[in-house]
Structure 1
């Protein structure tokens, strides 16, 4: 049930929380955008359009131009669950993004965050 609530949440409602979390730790909105683009394949303009359209998470990931094949390298725990063990694809994409933003806020280098 909680998953359905998350799916229907607007990405644009959660996005400012990602930015705030990053900025509190001295990182930038540009870095949040770079991570989001890396994961989803959106261009900056497409990302901004998704934010303006208040697209829900399910649609945001369903319409992603190209989910990064290296996303499977994202591992670890977010919200008490190992991201690599999440079976439902949309929930896993959401948690991948959460994990990447956490890594950014913890000061990890962008090259490592983007699995370079």
Structure 2
């Protein structure tokens, strides 16, 4: 399977909360890294943390881009309750056609800070 298609299918399964099914996209010994919180997960731990994460979510894929050694994606993640609204910027690295390393950076979707409002009209 092509890497961009694999990442697209991965996000489709995440959107449907089919967390157990994402295992098929990873190497058995893959690592998932969340540098914002200094957390590192095995595939099983990553599946577990997503199952445990509170609430229901909507995920919209904004972009998926491929480079010679990685696939990058940006997705918009919103809780259905409206309390959480973030973007995830993810780098997928591959070995033998499966994800070997997934690094995800999360950023809040927020209002423009007051000190910048006059700059950005």
TM-score higher than 0.5 here? Answer: no
Give 1 or 2 for the bigger CA radius of gyration.
2
| More helix per residue | 1
Structure showing greater relative contact order (alpha-carbon pairs closer than 8 Å, 6 or more residues apart) = 1
State TM-score, norm by structure 1: 0.28
State TM-score, norm by structure 2: 0.27
| More strand per residue | 2
